[in-house]
Amino acid sequence: MSVAEKRFEFVELEKAPPTPLAVTPSGIPLPVVATAADHDPRSEGLPGQFPFTRGVFADGYQGRLWTMRQYAGFASAKESNRRYKFLLESGQTGLSVALDLPTQCGYDPTDPMARPEVGKVGVSLASLADMEILFDGIDLARVSTSFTINGTAAMIYAMYLACADKQGVPREKLTGTIQNDILKEYVARGTWIFPVRPSLRLIADTVLYANDATPRFNPISVAGAHVRDAGCTAVEEMAYTLANGLAYVEELIRRGGDIEKFAKRMSFFFYVHMDFFEEVCKFRAARRLWARLLKERYGVKDEMALMFRFGVVCGGSSLTAAQPYNNIVRVAVELMAAVMGGVQSVFTAAFDEAFQIPTEFSAELALRTQQVIAYESGIAKSVDPLGGSHLVEFLTDRMEEEIRKVMGEIDAYGGVVKAIEEGWLQARLAARALERKMAIDERRNIVVGVNAFQTEGEKMAGETFRLDPNARRSVLEAFAALQERRDAAAVETSLSRLSEAAAGERENLLPYLVDCCHAYATIGEMAGRLKKEWGSFREPIRL
């Protein structure tokens, strides 16, 4: 059948439920034509100056481009190491490590709960032995590494330090980020392990330890990405993220941390969605609001500590399995929004990521998207190129107002920790997710190729990624070999000391975790000892 003969199903807008066109996805009404009277010019300022509406660096990307990462990791450490080297050779400037579910949830690959998921959505990292293979031939002093990990973040960070020690890399040279944001896991993703308050302790331990051990490494990246993909609006994404960030600030202050010091290493992480101007403005508004909150509530004076530095993923739930080549366009639009919003680190999702682990071809194309925007588009030549636009300044102001309102609702409930422990925040997010799903089902929100402009007889595009069927077996064999050759007495000694420290409340657990990693204790063993002391989180049920 020729293209001309194919039958297409076009959306019939006159039959779709009426939708106010001049409203953002967060429900903010937009003026048909914005003018200077629609915004307050006093909040704009200059890049690099408080309140950082226009960016945290005075020279924007003229001084340095954003870090280009591709989220990668699958099967064994050996397979992932090969992919990392391919991406670095292709011009990637940082690594973003995807970890499998057993590693994220604190299970060894031999655990019955883990076996079906070993190496499926990320790389299996059970011990320092795996980490050494993962970074074999990669100089940790020269590459910035990001880990998307939360429940076991402290253990993976400790493992990374031990790996650097083995490579002979001074810890002060390490750069990168570990997500380490457990609060949004309780709300949106579910890879929690321990109850909320012991988890906060572990995060505070990591941040306080990292401030001295790895002064160039970000020990926490407060993530709005997953609550957004779980269904909330851009306004709620920013409100929940900033509320979580303040909860961590409060915990660190309670533990005796110096906010002027630890705030300099706090970073943030988001997904970018498709409403271009709302996405640009959410970053401008959040950057300004974070600086103001730290200054107003805590009296922070050092401008470096007020800076809202963030990384993004372009392409998450906005990508579709239907007509996947459309995702190339989506990612390019989202990338431009992130760059216009002043991002510091970017991972562009591959077009096939909605339904499989990316192939080398699709991963390279996603990286090339960043390189085209960076080197050919001209967008990076000027700082905050949309600054001064009446619409952008109006929407930035409105976004800040709405974010403050949602944060006020959380405060009125009793704070983010209480809201999570009692399931209030989870219920709110679930309701919003249902609203978004219904809007797509009822074609109030148009998604090209999904509920409109569909092509009859569509086929999956591109090549298919196939996971090595022997990958899980090789992981299990390597795990068994490690248990045979390691010093069992040294492992037990390190784990016992970890248990003793966890039973108390004052000691920082990171030195004990690093010792466990050097002894080749496993993720499952370390998490297991902490579970014995702290118990596990139980999901609250709200009817």
For the record, the structure tokens of 189 come out as: 């993703």
To the nearest 10 degrees (0 to 180), the angle between helices 523-534 and 488-503 is: 30
Q: Do β-strands 175-178 and 217-218 pair in parallel, antiparallel, or remain unpaired?
A: parallel
CA torsion, points 189, 192, 196, 197, in degrees to nearest 10? -140
Tokens standing for residue 36: 């200077």
Query: Dihedral through CA 56, CA 45, CA 225, CA 25, nearest 10?
Result: -160
Peptide bond into 51 cis (omega under 30): yes
Distance CA 262, CA 306 (A): 11
Amino acid identity, residue 462? G
What is the reported pTM? 0.91
The two tokens of residue 442 are 């009822």
Provide the residue type at 504 as one letter. G
- Name the residue ranges covered by the structural domains of the chain: 1-60+220-454
Between β-strands 345-348 and 94-97, what pairing exists: parallel, antiparallel or unpaired?
Answer: unpaired
- Mind listing the pLDDT tens digit for each residue in 80-100? 999 999 989 989 888 989 999
Q: What does the angle CA 240 – CA 317 – CA 117 come to, to the nearest 5 degrees?
A: 100
State the pairing for strand pair 8-9/454-455. antiparallel
Residue 539's pLDDT is 82
Q: Are 316 and 362 in contact (CB under 8 A)?
A: no
pLDDT tens column, 2-49: 444 443 343 444 444 444 468 999 999 999 899 988 887 777 789 999
Say whether 245 sits in a helix, a strand or coil: helix
Listed as ranges, residues in the chain with pLDDT below 70 are 1-21, 459-463, 465-467, 542-543
Q: Which fold, 1-60+220-454?
A: TIM Barrel (3.20.20)
Helix (H, G, I), strand (E, B) or coil at 255: coil
DSSP 471-532: HHHHHHHHHHHHHHHS-HHHHHHHHHHHHHHHHSSSS-SHHHHHHHHHTT--HHHHHHHHHH
Three-class SS state of 267: strand
Residue 356 is predicted with a pLDDT of 87
- pLDDT of 75: 79
What's the start-to-end Cα distance of the chain, in Å? 52
Q: Which two tokens stand for residue 65?
A: 């481009």
The residue assigned the tokens 């679930």 is: 430
pLDDT computed for residue 51 by the predictor: 94
Q: Where do the DSSP E strands lie in 90-208?
A: 94-97, 144-147, 175-178
Q: What angle do CA 245, 408, 541 make, to 5 degrees?
A: 75
Query: For residue 35, how far is the Cα from the chain centroid?
Result: 35
Alpha carbons 228 and 338: distance in angstroms, whole number = 15
Q: Which residues contact 95 (CB under 8 A, 6 or more apart)?
A: 69, 72, 84, 87, 88, 138, 143, 144, 145, 146, 176
Q: What is the pLDDT of residue 26?
A: 94
Give the DSSP H or E segment for 293. helix 276-298
Alpha-helix residue ranges (DSSP H) falling in 143-233: 153-167, 183-184, 196-213, 225-229
Given a contact cutoff of 8 angstroms between Cβ atoms, the answer to whether 315 and 347 are in contact is no
pLDDT of residue 293: 97
Which residues, other chains included, contact 543 with Cβ-Cβ below 8 Å and sequence gap of 6+?
A: none
Q: Which residues contact 272 (CB under 8 A, 6 or more apart)?
A: 279, 312, 313, 314, 315, 318, 334, 335, 337, 338
Q: Which residues contact 51 (CB under 8 A, 6 or more apart)?
A: 43, 45, 287, 288, 291, 292, 306
